[in-house]
Amino acid sequence: MQQHTSINYSNKTKFYKELHSEAEGMAEKEWFVNLANFAALLKQHLPEINWVGFYLLHNNELLLSSFQGLPACTRIAIGKGVCGTAAKTLQTQLVADVDQFPGHIVCDAASKSEIVVPLIHNGRLLGVLDIDAPVLSRFDQEDQKGLEKFTEILLKKTQWPEKFA
């Protein structure tokens, strides 16, 4: 396994290039292994975040999967909150102030901003990557681009079981 080092976030282009390289190097075939390690990788390297994890689509709702942070909401309805909106629209949700997002679901009152990237494989929604931060406007377009590519690596490197794929 590749040795984990600290990645400097001050140059976001370089940061995401190094993060993507580390993700490529540690990826396995098994979905549950990748979800756990990809969440840990983001928690290790992304500064100023308080929660990162995955929700997977199951029986038409999002169920909590691998994550790093405090215990979280276990079920999210499609179309509800930031995660449910990303799942419904199939578009990344970049939220500068969660208190201004209609229907925001509070799992951790310390969270102030959020980014949610839908996981789409072969045209179908598998779930979402959710990252919360305890500061306002934590994420920008460069983070969005870098995290979308990060999820593309996850989707490409993983063998998804029939129930997901």
In a domain, 6, yes or no: no
Say which CATH number the domain at 97 has: 3.30.450.40
Give how many domains the chain has, as a whole number. Answer: 1
Contact 50, 74 (CB under 8 A): no
Q: What confidence score (pLDDT) does residue 3 get?
A: 44
Segments in 12-102 forming alpha helices (H): 12-26, 31-45, 81-89
121 is a domain residue: yes
In a domain, 91, yes or no: yes
Q: Quick check: is 38 in a domain?
A: yes
**164 within a domain of the structure (yes/no):** no
pTM (predicted TM-score): 0.93
**pLDDT value, residue 6:** 61
Residue 123: inside a domain: yes
Give the number of other Cβ atoms within 10 Å of residue 105's Cβ: 15
CA distance 82 to 77: 10
Enter the tokens of residue 80: 């509800």
Examine residue 20 and state whether it is found in any structural domain, yes or no: yes
- Cα-to-chain-centroid distance, residue 78: 16
Question: Which residue range is the domain that position 147 belongs to?
Answer: 12-157
Q: Is residue 4 part of a domain?
A: no
Q: What is the pLDDT along the chain (165 residues), one digit of tens a residue?
A: 344 456 778 899 999 999 999 999 999 999 999 999 999 999 999 999 999 999 999 999 999 999 999 999 999 999 999 999 999 999 999 999 999 998 888 887 889 999 999 999 999 999 999 999 999 999 999 999 999 999 999 999 999 988 765
